[in-house]
Amino acid sequence: MPLDGRVATAYGRRMTVSRVSVVLLVAVLVAGCAGLDGRAAGERGIGVTGTGRVAVKPDTGTIEVGAEARAAQLGDATAEVDRRMREVLARVKTLGVRDADVRTTMYAIDPVVEPTRQPGEAPTPRIIGYHVSNIVQVRVRGVDGLGKVADAAVAGGANVVRNIQFTVEDPSRVEAEARALAVQDAAARARQVAAAAGVKLGRLLSLTDSSPVRPFPVARMTTLSAPGPIESGQLEVVVSVEARYAIEP
């Protein structure tokens, strides 16, 4: 075959292969676009947030009690705090508080510094004493006992009483109730949105929930005298869900 003929044949084959490649590329792109449209159509719907709230009376409380002392000598400050805390813990445990329900939350030794200045010199810090703190958290099952624990701690020498908190020892039942209310709330909201938009609400497509929120009413105090009655009030457990419903044709 003449050279010109071979070149023309090769060129023709390349053109044929190129046309086939273009056709395949177009087919792939069309298929891809169809898939995207399908996903978009499948995801059309009504998205709502539902909230469930349940109020419950707390059955467990915690309170921090402790002792602080300041002295020129570290040994004197630690000895004073140790004496007070031994008496505080002894009195608290006579109320039936278990060892497992008492834990140290802070033990601190801080030097008390007084800056001194010599003429023409930078200030030179000088330690003039020490401040020692020992704080424990006491867990009480039955919130009515918190006031008694505070009274006993103060009577034993505690000069710090603070961070009283209330909670529910087993919140699973209350959380389940709040979650069910959240799902019902989401369904009601979806029906309202569908009615307002003039569309027909379809089946539930997805449902996710958030971690329950359990706020703790807190009474904060630092006292040198008996605190008296302590009211626990109520806790509100809140659960939210995200729901998506289909829109029927």
Please report, for the chain, the start and end positions of each structural domain, with discontinuous segments joined by +.
1-43, 45-57+171-248, 60-167
Q: Which of 172, 237, 244, 150 is nearest to 202 (CA)?
A: 244
CB 133 within 8 A of CB 107: yes
Q: 100-104, 220-224, 234-238 — which one is most confidently predicted on average?
A: 100-104
> So what's the pLDDT on residue 14?
44
Average pLDDT score over the chain:
79
> So what's the pLDDT on residue 142?
81
CA distances from 53 to 59, 121, 171, 236, 238 (A): 18, 64, 13, 6, 5
> So what's the pLDDT on residue 234?
82
Least confident residue range of 55-64, 93-102, 156-165, 224-233? 224-233
End-to-end Cα, the chain, rounded Å: 66
* CATH architecture classification, 60-167: 2-Layer Sandwich (3.30)
> So what's the pLDDT on residue 171?
87
**Could you identify the residue written with the tokens 């949105």?**
193
> So what's the pLDDT on residue 124?
73
Strand ranges in the chain using DSSP code E only, listed in sequence order: 45-56, 60-71, 102-116, 124-141, 160-167, 200-209, 218-219, 235-248
Question: CA torsion, points 118, 123, 126, 132, in degrees to nearest 10?
Answer: 160
Query: Quick one: what percent of the chain has pLDDT higher than 90?
Result: 54
Query: Quick one: what percent of the chain has pLDDT higher than 70?
Result: 72
pLDDT band at 22 (very low <50, low <70, confident <90, very high): very low
212: left (phi over 0), alpha (psi -120 to 50) or beta: beta
> So what's the pLDDT on residue 52?
95
Number of residues that make up the chain: 249
Binning the chain into helix, strand and coil, the percentages to the nearest 5 are: 40, 35, 20
CATH superfamily of 45-57+171-248: Protein of unknown function (DUF541), domain 1 (3.30.110.170)
CB 235 within 8 A of CB 215: yes
pTM exceeds 0.85: no
